[in-house]
């Protein structure tokens, strides 16, 4: 079953703790992305990666970190420096390269700080 | 980076009417413009996309138009049905760049 999978679906974090969100794809896509979704603000780009071992900051990267050690995986760490981390996080992937194509999304992780 | 603005933020229509959602983008180098539909509690899914080398694309009840000079593109849904109710997002990106930017979304409600 091909696709992009995020885990967990729901995540609770205590203030001051780091937490890592998982994103795995078996679509053989080069490009992967992390977006944050808040009500009324659409999808805001946190980080993106065009190829293994390379990633770039998006518009709201402060307080987040990523790694891209494998083509299939692009985990996002929400650090204690992120002042308002409660949100819905979406991971996506696309073929990437010369001609941009459709981005496929995971089912999302809802993070709540308690 | 690219900046995408989307209007209106909410749209309510009667079943059978048409709905139009408009987006503008800032970077003239952008050349790929997809539209996504997100139903409640689900992931966004592509419904139609257009590249900068065409001005219009249609798929059954859905069409997208692109005006490169004015840097705006629009989604048109005809003969709306209750199942069209969802949040719609426009986006823009350019070749060799994977930083796709999205608009803030439009919540469409189709009243039966």
Q: According to the model, what pLDDT value does residue A52 have? A: 94
pLDDT, residue A87, reads 95
Quick one: pLDDT at residue B107?
Answer: 96
Rounded Cα distance, A64 and A52, in Å: 18
Dihedral angle over CA of A73, B47, B49, B8, nearest 10: -110
B109, B100 Cβ separation under 8 angstroms: no
**Cα(A69)–Cα(B100) distance, integer angstroms:** 22
Residue with the two structure tokens 């049905």:
B81
Q: Which pLDDT belongs to residue A2?
A: 63
Q: Where are the beta strands (DSSP E) in chain B?
A: 4-7, 10-14, 19-25, 32-38, 45-51, 56-59, 62-67, 72-77, 86-92, 101-102, 106-111
Q: Considering only alpha carbons, which residue of chain A is nearest residue B9? A: A40
* Of the partner residues A41, A49, A99, the one whose CB lies closest to the CB of residue B104: A41
Identify the CA nearest to B77 among candidates B17, B1, B10.
B17
Check residue B34 and report its DSSP letter.
E
> pLDDT tens track of chain A, all 114 residues?
569 999 999 999 998 899 999 999 999 999 999 999 998 778 999 999 999 999 999 999 999 999 999 999 999 999 988 889 999 999 999 988 777 788 999 999 999 998
| Chain B CB within 8 Å of residue A56 CB | yes
């Amino acid at each position: 079953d091909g696709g992009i999978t995020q885990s967990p679906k729901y995540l609770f974090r205590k203030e001051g703790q780091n937490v890592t969100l998982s994103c795995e794809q078996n679509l053989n896509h080069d490009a992967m992305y992390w977006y944050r979704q808040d009500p009324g603000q659409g999808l805001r780009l946190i980080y993106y990666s065009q190829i293994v071992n390379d990633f770039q900051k998006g518009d709201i990267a402060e307080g987040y970190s990523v790694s891209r050690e494998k083509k299939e995986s692009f985990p996002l760490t929400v650090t204690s420096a992120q002042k308002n981390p409660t949100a819905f996080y979406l991971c996506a992937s696309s073929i990437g390269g010369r001609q941009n194509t459709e981005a496929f999304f995971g089912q999302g992780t809802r993070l709540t700080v308690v | 980076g690219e900046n995408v603005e989307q209007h209106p933020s909410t749209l309510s229509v009667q079943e059978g009417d048409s709905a139009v959602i408009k987006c503008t983008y800032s970077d003239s180098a952008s050349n790929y413009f997809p539209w996504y539909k997100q139903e409640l509690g689900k992931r966004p899914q592509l419904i139609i996309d257009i590249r900068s080398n065409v001005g219009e694309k249609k798929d059954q009840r859905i069409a997208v138009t692109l005006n490169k000079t004015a840097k705006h593109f629009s989604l048109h849904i005809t003969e709306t049905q209750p199942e069209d109710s969802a949040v719609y997002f426009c986006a823009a990106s350019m070749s060799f760049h994977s930083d796709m930017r999205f608009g803030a979304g439009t919540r469409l409600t189709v009243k039966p």
